[in-house]
Each structure stands twice: as C-alpha cells, then as structure tokens.
Structure 1
Amino acid sequence: MKNLRQTTGKETAHVLTDSSVYLNITSSSQLQSTIKSMVDRNYDFNSYINISFPNNLTCDYFTKESKAVRLTTSNLSTVVIFDSYDIYTTDGTIIIPTRKLSTAYIISTANGASQFAVGSMHSETNIQIRLNIKNNTTLSLFGRNMLSGDTFSIRLNEFETLQISHPTDLSGTFLSADKPFAVFSGSQCKSYPQTGCSHMVSQLPPIKEYDNEYIIPSFLQNTGTIFQVVSPVENNVTVTTGIARRTLHFQAYDYKNFEVASDLISVVKSDFPVQITGFAMGSHQVGPYMTVFPGIHHYLDYYKILVPAIYRDSFICVIIPDQSLGKLMINDLPVHNYTSAFQKMASSAGKSYSIKVVKVQPGPYILKTTDRVAFGVIVYGHRHSDGYGYAGNFVLP
C-alpha cells in the first residue's frame, strides 16, 4: 500500500515453511516490464526465504493498476510482508491464503490518512464499494463526487488493484464482489499525540472469518492502544477492561473505538461475530502501527513466524489457556527460558488465560504447545519513530 512519497525502501516478503519448498512468484502480463522483471521468479528453499520487491510495486490512489502478485508454494507456508521498508515508516502483515479469501469485507482504519486497497484473483471480478466516510465529507472516484452511503462499482481483472484514500476515516465501508478478492487497510502515515507519523497496513479477513470472542492485549512501550470493533450485523458487544464492563449496541456496519492503557487487557464478546483491529498509539520514541487481533476461535497450536532484523526491540505476545503456558515451546525451548516483558491473567467463557509477552531477537520462530492446545500470537517491535505488528493468524482454522 502507498507509503510516504519520499519512501525509498523495498517491499519484503518472508516465506516460512517446515520442509523443502518450491516457490513460484507470478504477476500480471500487463505489469510494466521493468517492474515485472524484478518480480516474477522461482525459488527452491528450505525452511525460510526473504524476498525483496521494488518499491514502485506499491499502489497509487484512485486508479486501476496491475500490481497484485501471487506467491504459490508446493507445501503449506506462512507469508509475512513488510510494506515499504524505510528508516522511519513501515508496518507488517501476515498474508491470508487464497483459499480463505471471500466476497465480503468491512474496512477498518485509523482516523486520519486512511486508505484501503483491493486486489483481484480472477478475471472480470465485479466489486461494489459502499462508502462510509467520517463527517459525511466527499470522496472523488473516477470523476464522481461520492458521499457516505454511496456505492461505487468497478470491474477488475486478474492481478488488478485499486487503492482508495481519504483524509478522515473510511471504517465501516462495505465491499462485496461476485468472486473472491483480497483487501488491505491502513494509513499512509498516521500520527498520535507525542509521535511522528508512521505507516500502517494489515490485510483484512473476510466477514465469514470473524469471531465473537476476543482477548485484547495492549502493546508495550506505547502510550496506549486503540482497538476498533466492527460489526457486519445489528449486534450487542460487551467489552470488559479490568473491573469496567459495558455492553454496547451496534447497527449493521457500525464501528466503535476503545482506548486502553499499555498495561491493561480487554475481553470482548458479541452476540454475532465481529472484526477487531488494534492501533498502537506510539510514544515519543515509537511510531504507530496496526494489526488485526485474533479471536479465540482463530487460535492454533503451531505457528512459524518471523521477527525482522531492523528493530531495536521485538516482542512475541501469546494468549494461551493458563494450564498450557508451561507446555509452550519457542524454538524447542520452554517459554520460561525467554526474557519476560509482561504477564497478566484474563478470563473468558469461564476459562483462565495467560497473556505473556517475551522479548526476542531477530529471526524465524516456531511456537507450539506439547499438549496441542491452541493459543493466539501477536508479533510486534519498535525502533526510533517506527513500529510494526502482525498477528500469527486471524482466520478460522
């Protein structure tokens, strides 16, 4: 997604697997030849590979482009991308497998310099975008001035993309199509009090992958965390933070933001599934970033993830049933062998969970429980005026 105009870094993709893998990278025949020559390639590798893509593969605003890329592996793999590696502004996201993409999404962004992008997997994909624009200001799309509530239709062919931005907030915008497609959301460069601006990006899950029960950890070294709840249907949502508890009513496609301190845990339950994204608010030393939070039913018992090398501090946060914390292994070592940065308990549906954050060095990590109990994972890190974050999984198994 689009970063600052002066950004000069590369897009990077980290592919992780447990075996020998053949990787094919394919782009559109319509992609500019000088870019395509740096994108299309094949690899044979074991365990892990880091691939760079040119910065001009990022999308521009309000124009159809052929800038989507397909990565196909011979065995199951994890893909993590970092958008516009640059000294002050980057973010990361895990990539959803194409088999999990679908036809309906709701946008979640931070307020200010918000943006989202869509990418088509198939030819002649008809996409409808029903806008939700904060303060009902206008947005110009292909010569049309659009208001909140207006619907815009576009047809994309395979590998085509469209990116839309607005100075305020596009959260609650509803996207639907007649064929599966991918959606990414974020901010070109978002700032909060005490911070400079920093890039935000995350791939978004389709509506059918939402959950109705979440444990929300805050991000360390930040002034706080804002998490946003988005509901696709009329819904009742209960949010518990510490001893404070409140239940709120949502209309369809409604969203609400909640701000919590960096040492607090929130538990969110809803009558019907919702999407929750988190925005790290940064500090005078850390730039903002975002991630999609995993629901309890998104948890897995095995992850292979990547901690990038360019950050001062990096952390792995696990949300795990308390009785299984002692059975959690990280790179074949017990979790207690790692430096603990934070630990707290939370309860949901009568079950106790440990939220534990450990400080880690750069590199690939395998996390698994010896008793095969599922748990949640969030990876994040900081350097001066910048940060990144991504969840290990946020779709249903």
Structure 2
Amino acid sequence: MHFNIPHGGGKTVKIDPKIQKYGTFVGSRGIRITSNNDISVIFTNTYDTDNTIDSCNIILVANIARNYTISSYSSIYGSVLLVAGVTNDTNVTIFNGTDVLYSAIINLFDVLQYRSCVTSCDVTGIRVIADKPVSVSSGSTYAALLTNSGARGDYIVSEMHPLKTWSRTYIVSPVLPKTAFVSRILVENSFSSVTVSNISESYRLTPSSSSQYFETEALVLTSDHPFSLTQYGVSYDSDDNSGNPFMTVVPGVDQYINNYIFTVPHGYYGNLKQYVSLIVPKMYKDSLVLDGMSLHVYNQTNRAKILDDPAPFDTYTILTFRVNEGYHHFYHSSEKVTFGVFVYGHGYFLSYGFFAGYDLNGDCRIQTSTSTTTSISTSTMTSSTTSSTSLLQPRGQMCYNCEEFSHVDLCDTVKQCSKQEVCFTERYEDSGQTKFKTGCPLQNVRISLLHRVKL
C-alpha cells in the first residue's frame, strides 16, 4: 500500500481484524511502515460489542533493542506479550527469572505472541531477550483495575521501552476528571530504591521486581538507578467517573522533546471525550505554541486545569485541556525547552492513553538539586542553588552508534550528537569480512573517516 499525506494531514489504515489470534504462536502478521519524511504513527484497537479501546505510540525501529522487561496486567483472559521481527533469523527467548518459557526464531514480518495462561495470569516481570533488535508490545484483552465487579474491564496495550532506555526521573499526570490511577514500577536490581512523591507526602521504598501503587494526585518518582514506570487507568466503578482501564509506558523527564506533531485518535464509541496534559517548566509555560496559538490565546477557548507537581519537580506544572480528534502541533518557542505531552480519552466504559512523543535516548543521568530549584541538562549534569531553572542544551542529530558489525541493519544503538557533530557510516574490510562502523564524529573529522572507507 502506498499513499501521500499532506502537511497537517493524516491517514487512517484499517486492518482486517482476522489478523488477531489468541494463544501462543509464531506467524507472519507484521506490518512495516516507511516514509520519506518524519511521521508519527499511533495504533488503535477497538471492539464495539463491549465498547473497548486503547491506543499507543509506535516506537521507531532506530529505538528498539534486544533486551526488555515486560509490564502488563492480569485479566480474565490472561495477559499477552508480542515480539515483532525486523530482521531475518532473529533468536528470541522469553524468560521468567532463569527459567526459559518459550524460544523461537523469527524473521522480518513475523510476530511471536506469548500468552501467559488462560485466566488471571500476568506477564509482568517476564524478560524478552533477542540476538537482534525486536519490537515488543504487551497488554491484556479485558483488564479490570480497582473494580468492584469484573464486568468493568477494558482492552489495554502499550509498546515496551527497551531496558537500556529506562530513566531515573518521572512525572505522572492524573487522568482528569477521573480521581485515580495506578502506577507500576519495574526495577532491574532488587536493591534499587525509588522515592515516590505527591503533593501530600513523599516516601522512599524498595520495590520488588514489580510493584504497583494507587494514586490520586500528580506523582514524581526518582531513583539513583534506572527503572521503568507504567501508568494505568482504573475501572468505571472505582470512582463512578466515565472511563475504564488503559496502559501506557511513561517516558522519563529527560526524554521530553521540544516539538510534537501528533494525532488524537477517532472516538469510535462511548461518547469519548479527549484530553491532553502538558508537563512543562512553570517559568516557560507562557512561550508554548499550541496549534499555532500562544498559550494565552489557546486557553481562552480551551480552559486548562492547572496542577502543580511535587518536589523535586515543583518547578514544573501540568496543564490539562480538552482537545478535538485529529492533527495537532504543539511546540515551545525556545528550542532549548522540553516538555511532556500525554494524550488520553474517556468514554462511558472505555479509555485510552499514550504519550505523543519522546526521545528514548535522553540523558538518564539527569540530576536534581537539593534546593527547591530543579536544574536539568540533557548534555551535561548540572545543579543549582539559584531561583531559576536551567534551559536544556540544544541537541544535534540522532545517529546510529555501533562498531564492528556485519550489516548496517544490525545496529540497535543510537547516540545524541552535539551540534558540531554529524552522522557517518564507515564500511571496511577486516580479514576478508565486510564490516561497518557508525557514529557521530566532529564535522572536521568526518572527511578523513570517509577517506578510510574500503569498498
């Protein structure tokens, strides 16, 4: 299938539902999307009989990797993970601790689907390890969270973030007008401790490999070690507000970006109301540009609900607006300022939620000062005791960064280059074998590197 999309436009491609299948299997059911310009892609699954829906953002192939730990949720139908192959002859193994649950070789366009069990099982904490980069998603067919009856469930799904992209700092926005949500933490090391803060209190905990927490306020989580955070909506009858479960893997604060072009999905059922929450430094919020309008003008017709974040990110605020489905363009007028964009919707018995974009190669070394001021930098670690927030440093190109590999498609590591660096690919011969090297040297070094290419 080939089509053109004009600037500011979009295209909905409907997939035959027969492609879906229950159980554990390997089959050729993958879909590949390529473009000659940058695009954003979201996936939405709906089922009209029970008004179920969820949407998730699709991660670029450049950001996928070989090592994942799964976050999901149990349901009356069990929970499922799905591995998609992007190269041929990819060895995939699924572990529970040190026990091998399943292994297979998959090719381009193949998917490996693993179902935990028939009922009430959860694949959370299971590891997926491959010898080549793969895409991994997880979810449940009909999950119910904080419900008084199992009848208030919904379909949930999210694409997993690779282990190497886990962050140390997260801000979680409430999903207004609902009064509750659930956060699930995954840690790689059992000795890792996480500080959880809301407006009311702050507490330090040492979670197990998978722990979940019920919250009603904006939430900040920090740790000395990288960890993963997944946010879930709760069932309709938990607070008698419209909406049901959804799941989304939350990006770290260091993974926010400056410019978002995204689509709010079509609301198929249940009188769906759409929202967007912006997580932005307070002192720079007035320079946001939302669909071509300043924040002041945009707020005149789309009144924002404003929430403050707890320390150590009390220099941030959360602005929540009602939005329409379709194309949106949000950015900050200063290229140095980054912010988060969380898109979600509630219907009578359904919800969805996902982040509009993020840079999974953000600086996970981000540190906060011990004073009431937070100072953040994506290129160098800084701290501050002044009454201001430092701007994020301008970034250069995002480049592949691998050495001595046999094919350009096998590189699964990318690097944030500086403004003075450029992307390069070097091809050379070593003991009769063709090898490749990628990276981002300084521009004045690039010429000499290219001169060493042996074809």
Percent identity (aligned): 24
Specify the code of the residue in structure 1 equivalent to 2:319. K
Matched, 1:362 2:325: yes
TM-score (norm 2): 0.71
Match of 2:108 among 158, 161, 186: 158
Equivalent residue number for residue 303 of structure 1: 260
Shift of 1:189: 0.9
Q: Which secondary structure state, in structure 1, belongs to the residue aligned with residue 164 of structure 2?
A: helix
Partner of 1:381: 345
Query: d(CA) in 2 for partners of 1:56 and 1:216?
Result: 36
Structure 1, unaligned stretches of length 5 or more?
1-40, 133-147
Q: CA deviation at 1:60?
A: 3.1
Q: Which residue of the other structure, out of 90, 111, 122, is the alignment partner of 1:125?
A: 90
Moved more, 225-234 or 148-157: 148-157
Deviations 1:167-219 (A, max 9, x none): 22221111111000011011111123156221001111111111100011121
Whole-angstrom CA distance in 2 between matches of 1:189 and 1:242: 32
Kindly report structure 1 stretches of 4+ aligned residues shifted beyond 3 Å. 84-87, 148-151, 347-351
The 5-angstrom pairing of residues 185-196 of structure 1 reads 185-192=138-145, 193=147, 196=152
Q: Counterparts in 2 of 1:1-397, with a 5 A limit?
A: 41-47=1-7, 48-84=10-46, 86=48, 88-112=51-75, 113-131=78-96, 149-166=99-116, 167-192=120-145, 193=147, 196-234=152-190, 235-250=192-207, 254-261=209-216, 264-284=217-237, 285-310=242-267, 311-336=271-296, 337-338=298-299, 339-349=302-312, 352-372=315-335, 373-394=337-358, 395-397=360-362
SS in 2 for 1:127: strand
- The one-letter amino acid paired with 2:357 is N
Q: Once the 2 structures are TM-superposed, how far is the Cα of residue 346 of structure 1 from its aligned partner?
A: 1.5
Question: Per residue, is there more strand in 1 or in 2?
Answer: 1
- Work out the CA distance in 1 between the residues paired with 2:264 and 2:93: 36
> Deviations 1:12-54 (Å, cap 9, x if unpaired)?
xxxxxxxxxxxxxxxxxxxxxxxxxxxxx11122132221111
Structure 2, unaligned runs of 5 or more: 363-455
Residues 119-163 of structure 1 deviation map (CA, whole Å, 9 limit, x = unaligned):
11111111111126xxxxxxxxxxxxxxx9444322112211122
Deviations 1:300-343 (A, max 9, x none): 01111111232531000110011111111110112342423521
- How far residue 164 of structure 1 moved from its aligned partner, in angstroms, is 1.9
- Higher alpha-carbon Rg: 2
Residue 226 of structure 1: SS of its match in structure 2? Answer: strand
- Measured after TM superposition, the shift of residue 294 of structure 1 is 1.7
TM-score (norm 1): 0.81
Q: Distance in 2 between matches of 1:308 and 1:323?
A: 31
Which is bigger in relative contact order (C-alpha 8 A, separation at least 6)? 1
Count residues with an aligned counterpart.
Answer: 338
Secondary structure of the corresponding residue to residue 277 of structure 1: strand
1: CA distance between counterparts of 2:130 and 2:206? 28
| Aligned residues: CA RMSD | 1.9
The one-letter code of the counterpart of 2:2 is N
Mapped to 2, the partners of 1:250 and 1:224 lie a distance apart of 21
**AA paired with 1:57?**
I
